[in-house]
Amino acid sequence: GDSVTQMEGPVTLSEEAFLTINCTYTATGYPSLFWYVQYPGEGLQLLLKATKADDKGSNKGFEATYRKETTSFHLEKGSVQVSDSAVYFCALNERDTNAGKSTFGDGTTLTVKP
C-alpha cells in the first residue's frame, strides 16, 4: 500500500535559519504530493502541492520539488520566521482515485525561536 515517511521531529530552529523537512513516499501509481501545515489549535491547510514529476510547488517562501527518481518531496524554506512554528504534514493522493483518500505522514513539529 501507499505510505509517506517524514523526518522525525521535533525540529527547533532560530529565526532566519534554513529549513528542510524530508519526505519520501511509496505509491503504486503516479501520485499527487502535498504539504499541509497545521498551526496551533487549527485544522490542516494546504501549504503547497505538485501533481507530476519535476513540478515545484511553492507558497509563503516554502518550496518542494516532486522527485520521481528518489520518490521524495522535501520541504524547504530559506529563512524561517517565528510565525512558521507549526506541524507540517506530507501527504499523497493516488491519481484516478474516486475515493479521494489521502495518505499522510506522521507530521513534523517545527518550533522557530526568536
Binding site for another protein (CB under 8 A): 31-32, 34, 36, 38, 42-46, 49, 51, 87, 89, 93-102, 104, 106-107, 109
Contact 49, 63 (CB under 8 A): no
Cell of 54: 519535476
In the complex, the smallest distance separating the C-beta of residue 29 from another protein, rounded to whole angstroms, is: 9
In the complex, the smallest distance separating the C-beta of residue 6 from another protein, rounded to whole angstroms, is: 11
> Residue 20: how many CA atoms within 13 Å on its side-chain side?
7
Closer by beta carbon to another protein, 80 or else 86: 86
d(CA 96, CA 100): 9
In the complex, the smallest distance separating the C-beta of residue 24 from another protein, rounded to whole angstroms, is: 18
Closer by beta carbon to another protein, 56 or else 79: 56
Closer by beta carbon to another protein, 25 or else 79: 25
d(CA 83, CA 110): 10
Residue 33's DSSP bridge partners are 50, 92
